[in-house]
Amino acid sequence: MTTYVEPIIAKEETPKKKKGKKVSHWKTNLFVFLMLLYPVAQFLIMWFGVNINSIFLTFKTYESGELVWVFQSTALQGKGFFETLFYNYSTLINSIINSETTQSMFKASLVYFIISCLITLPISMLFSYFVFKKILANGFFKVIFFLPSILPLFILTMVYSLSLGPNGLVGGFLGWFGVDATEWLSNIFIGDNAKWAVWIFCIWAGIGYDVILLTAGMSRIPRDILESCKMDGVSPVKEFFKIIIPLTWPTITTLFIFGMMSVFNVTFQPFFLVSGQYDTMTIGLHIYQASTGSGLQEPATLGLFCSIIGAPIIVATRWGMNKCFKDVGF
Amino acid sequence: MFTKLKYAIAKFFRNKHEANAQSEYERKHDTLYKRHGVEKAVFIVVFIIFAIFAASFIFPFLWILMNAFKTKADFARDAMCWPQNFTFDSFIKAFTFSNRATSNFNIFQMMGMSVIVAGFGTLVTVFTSSCAAYVVAKYKFPGRSVIFGVVIFSIIVPIVGALPSQIQLMKAMGLNDKVIGCIFLYSGGFGTNFLLLYSFFKNLSWTYVEAAKIDGASDFRIFGQVILPMAKGPITAVTILTLIGLWNDYITPSIYLSKQPTIAVGIYYMQQTMLATRADYPMFFATIILTLLPIILVFVLFSKTIMENTSVGGLKG
């Protein structure tokens, strides 16, 4: 008897369920809309809005304290169409060709490619191999490598420059051994030495971040692989180059890309250490300082110029590096 | 309550001790980490290099801590010796220091600003990121792939020099020199936090949600009472990492909140007066120590969460 009734109830329920689904569909749409409303609006303003405005800025110029389109400028009247339109760009290219300050700025920024990608990253790869291989006190060293990531950059630069300063820790330490380095140390943030001081700081403070990410990448390597290496008698050097590097390649790629971006991103290291003097001015710092002034079109043009040149190179490098090793899921 | 706290602290250290003992045992007895001959020698050499590297981080801070207890004259005479006239004066001065450069904010007011700006900024951005990540990961709606594509594009392709335009836009919106402006800038839901939470939600089983749906829960209720509790781990990690990042952020508050400095900006202003004008090094050292205290506290409390999760964010970038 009961088995006979059940299908009828089921039949009755089906239309109800459909109705319920329709209602929930409308509600779900509302839910999706509300959840995305703020993030999308914020993104539209702070990413699309900002970048489109940035492009607009490169076609504007200052005239009696106000930003106007290049065509409205009285100073540019009488010039040709393209000459007026690309006025900011031609000014920039002129300064790249002729101005020594601009050239030194580009050079100083490009050095950070070497520092981040060719010095800090390889050192970090070696360091993280040893941390991964559980060198004595590896837990303690991990905390040390972590410090630069959690301390404010300004405090790190201050600690660095005060320790190296004339009455600082390094001078005092050397003094214990009878070495009088006062004169050398008082010149460390001046003149040609200043560049080196900033570069060494970038390596010193940059290694930690890379090591942390790389050891995390390495810790995901399955133990079986390492065990079979050990059993087959693979030498550590071979293990490092043939096993560890290919298996952590995605992390290495990411860090390499970060390193390439540092050409444009290094801003406050030279600012806090030497106020951007002595040929340490970078693109990032110049844009930061110029943005707080009045001539907004100039840093905007420089930024767009760098993006147009830099972005394809970086995207291509990422693509190329992803091709290097077969992606292994583990 | 006191005994409870005592117990918690004892438990914390006991756990730490046990973990250390465990890893030490592994290191010593695991065949994977058995080393011989040249390999052993290389490890000793690298250990010495690591020790020097670690010393280069620790000793400057100890040196600063030691000199913070000296008088100005003592420091000028000898920066390396133990404090002769042990004094807390520098700390007291650092507590109350404020002048025009810092907009008459003292160190506590600056920290308060940091708590407000970084705290609310973190709360808002973590919340918007989780909302956006959950919806994009789990719901099918028109424009979903467009949103995801644009977000990935915005993260992969570096855009240099958006700052001038950003400043102009913020001024146009009247958000310059306002706390809410800073929080608005931080409040984005489509940064790296989005990617981290997206991959978490993507792998999350849908059966709980189906069960809740059959029981008649609305989507909001499911998100609040089923999804968020399940995502507690990654959300805590993201929150702490974002908090540290925003607490230390210099660029945004230095531009948009220059008259109400947060601690990260304020300490730069203070340095200009304390060192350049007054040459009062011990006072500046005391300021550095005070500034570091909250960061160290957070790091000690959450070190495990922080150290285990920083990596994940970076891998996705």
What is the pLDDT at residue A4?
45
Residues B268 and B156 placed together within one structural domain of the fold: yes
User: Per the CB < 8 Å rule, is A152 touching B264?
Assistant: yes
Residues A118 and A264 placed together within one structural domain of the fold: yes
- Contact partners, residue A167, CB within 8 Å, separation at least 6: B75, B76, B79, B281
| Alpha-carbon distances of A131 from A198, A219, A310, B28, rounded to whole Å | 27, 10, 34, 15
B21 contacts chain A (CB < 8 A): no
Work out the pLDDT band at A262, boundaries 50, 70, 90: confident
φ, ψ of residue B297 to 5 degrees: the values are -60, -50
A330 contacts chain B (CB < 8 A): no
What is the pLDDT at residue A11?
44
CB B117 within 8 A of CB B181: no
A4 in any annotated domain: no
DSSP B140: -
DSSP B217: -
CATH classification at residue B272: 1.10.3720.10
- Contact partners, residue A100, CB within 8 Å, separation at least 6: none
A38 contacts chain B (CB < 8 A): yes
A48 in any annotated domain: yes
Residues B38 and B151 placed together within one structural domain of the fold: no
Q: Which amino acid is at A44?
A: L
Q: With helix as H, strand as E and coil as C, how does chain A read?
A: CHHHHHHHHHHHHHHHHHHHHHHHHHHHHHHHHHHHHHHHHHHHHHHHHHHHHHHHHCCEEEECCEEEEHHHCCCCCCCCHHHHHCHHHHHHHHHHHHCHHHHHHHHHHHHHHHHHHHHHHHHHHHHHHHHHCCCCCHHHHHHHHHHHHHCCHHHHHHHHHHHHCCCCHHHHHHHHCCCCCHHHHHCCCCCHHHHHHHHHHHHHHHHHHHHHHHHHHHHCCCHHHHHHHHHHCCCHHHHHHHHHHHHCHHHHHHHHHHHHHHHHHCCHHHHHHHCCCCCCCCHHHHHHHHHCCCCCHHHHHHHHHHHHHHHHHHHHHHHHHHHHCCCCCC
DSSP B31: G
Residues B91 and B114 placed together within one structural domain of the fold: no
Residues B81 and B180 placed together within one structural domain of the fold: no
Q: How many whole angstroms separate alpha carbon B256 and alpha carbon B166?
A: 10
Residues A149 and A261 placed together within one structural domain of the fold: yes
To test the contact with chain A by mutation, choose from B17, B27, B160, B290 the residue with the greatest count of A C-beta atoms within 10 A, namely B160
Average pLDDT, chain B: 81
A8 in any annotated domain: no
| Alpha-carbon distances of A17 from A13, A21, A24, rounded to whole Å | 6, 6, 10
A152 in any annotated domain: yes
Tell me what the mean pLDDT of segment A1-12 comes to: 43
Nearest to A42 among B43, B188, B311 (CB): B188
A69 in any annotated domain: yes
Residues B46 and B114 placed together within one structural domain of the fold: no
How far off is chain A from B308, nearest CA to CA, in Å?
8
From the list B82, B59, B77, B96, the residue with the least C-alpha distance to B286 is: B96
Work out the pLDDT band at B315, boundaries 50, 70, 90: very low
Residues B200 and B260 placed together within one structural domain of the fold: yes
User: Per the CB < 8 Å rule, is A303 touching B161?
Assistant: yes
Residues B88 and B111 placed together within one structural domain of the fold: no
For residue B256, the enclosing domain spans 100-316
pLDDT > 50? residue B316: no
Of B53, B70, B96, the residue that ends a domain is B96
- What pLDDT digit, counting tens, does each position of A277-312 carry? 787 888 888 888 888 777 777 888 888 888 888 888
B15 contacts chain A (CB < 8 A): no
Burial of A189 (C-beta count, 10 Å sphere; 0-12/13-18/19+): buried
Residues A150 and A193 placed together within one structural domain of the fold: yes
Q: How many whole angstroms separate alpha carbon A322 and alpha carbon A326?
A: 8
B159 contacts chain A (CB < 8 A): yes
- What pLDDT digit, counting tens, does each position of A164-197 carry? 877 777 777 777 777 777 777 777 777 777 888 8
A1 in any annotated domain: no
| Alpha-carbon distances of B155 from A122, A311, B189, rounded to whole Å | 25, 11, 12
Residues of A in contact with B57 (CB under 8 A): 144, 147
User: Per the CB < 8 Å rule, is A39 touching B63?
Assistant: no
Residues B285 and B312 placed together within one structural domain of the fold: yes
The most confident of the ranges A63-67, A266-270, B310-314 is A266-270
Nearest to B165 among A50, A155, A160 (CB): A50
Residues A254 and A238 placed together within one structural domain of the fold: yes
Residues A138 and A77 placed together within one structural domain of the fold: no
Of A36, A52, A68, the residue that ends a domain is A52
To test the contact with chain A by mutation, choose from B165, B270, B292 the residue with the greatest count of A C-beta atoms within 10 A, namely B165
pLDDT > 70: percent of chain A: 90
**How many Cβ contacts (< 8 angstroms) between chains A and B?**
269
Q: What sign has the CA pseudo-torsion A259, A265, A271, A275?
A: positive
Tell me what the mean pLDDT of segment A25-49 comes to: 83
CB B189 within 8 A of CB A35: no
Residues A44 and A66 placed together within one structural domain of the fold: no
B158 in any annotated domain: yes
Residues of B in contact with A17 (CB under 8 A): none
Structure token digits, residue A49: 């809005």
From the list A287, A300, A264, A291, the residue with the least C-alpha distance to A56 is: A300
Of B68, B96, B124, the residue that ends a domain is B96
Residues B118 and B84 placed together within one structural domain of the fold: no
Provide the domain count of chain A.
3
Tell me what the mean pLDDT of segment A89-100 comes to: 82
Nearest to A27 among B219, B244, B291 (CB): B219
What is the pLDDT at residue B71?
76
Residues A36 and A84 placed together within one structural domain of the fold: no
User: Per the CB < 8 Å rule, is B164 touching A303?
Assistant: yes
CB B193 within 8 A of CB B242: yes
Residues of B in contact with A296 (CB under 8 A): 164-165, 167-168
For residue A27, the enclosing domain spans 23-52
Q: How many whole angstroms separate alpha carbon B188 and alpha carbon B37?
A: 54
Structure token digits, residue A143: 């905390």
B14 in any annotated domain: no
From the list A176, A241, A248, the residue with the least C-alpha distance to A211 is: A248
User: Per the CB < 8 Å rule, is B43 touching A135?
Assistant: yes
| Alpha-carbon distances of A305 from A90, B32, B199, B291, rounded to whole Å | 11, 51, 34, 39
Residues A80 and A203 placed together within one structural domain of the fold: no
B8 in any annotated domain: no
B186 in any annotated domain: yes
pLDDT > 70? residue A15: no
What would you report as the CA-atom Rg of chain B, rounded to the nearest whole angstrom? 25
Q: How many whole angstroms separate alpha carbon B50 and alpha carbon B45?
A: 9
A46 in any annotated domain: yes
What is the pLDDT at residue A19?
41
A26 contacts chain B (CB < 8 A): no
A212 contacts chain B (CB < 8 A): yes
- Contact partners, residue A328, CB within 8 Å, separation at least 6: A246, A247
Whole-prediction pTM? 0.81
Of B96, B125, B149, the residue that ends a domain is B96
CB B258 within 8 A of CB B110: no
Residues B168 and B247 placed together within one structural domain of the fold: yes
CATH classification at residue A233: 1.10.3720.10
Residues B59 and B130 placed together within one structural domain of the fold: no
- What pLDDT digit, counting tens, does each position of B35-90 carry? 777 777 888 888 898 889 888 888 888 888 888 887 777 777 777 777 777 777 77
Residues of A in contact with B23 (CB under 8 A): 134, 138-139
pLDDT > 60? residue B100: yes
Residues in chain B: 317
Cα angle at B50 between A121 and A186, to 5 degrees? 85
Residues A121 and A151 placed together within one structural domain of the fold: yes
- What pLDDT digit, counting tens, does each position of A126-162 carry? 888 888 877 777 778 888 888 888 888 888 888 888 8
Q: Which of residues 247-306 of A touch B (CB under 8 A)?
A: 250-251, 254-255, 257-258, 261, 264, 267-268, 272, 283-284, 287-288, 290-292, 296-297, 299-300, 302-304, 306
Residues B227 and B307 placed together within one structural domain of the fold: yes
Residues A77 and A93 placed together within one structural domain of the fold: yes
B145 contacts chain A (CB < 8 A): no
Structure token digits, residue B120: 């609310």
- What pLDDT digit, counting tens, does each position of B243-301 carry? 888 888 888 888 888 788 888 888 888 887 777 777 778 888 888 888 888 888 888 88
B57 contacts chain A (CB < 8 A): yes
Nearest to B27 among A54, A134, A153 (CB): A134
Q: How many whole angstroms separate alpha carbon B223 and alpha carbon B215?
A: 14
Provide the domain count of chain B.
2
CB A129 within 8 A of CB A216: no
Residues A36 and A125 placed together within one structural domain of the fold: no
User: Per the CB < 8 Å rule, is B255 touching A291?
Assistant: yes
Residues A268 and A306 placed together within one structural domain of the fold: yes
Which residue is associated with the tokens 């300490």?
B267
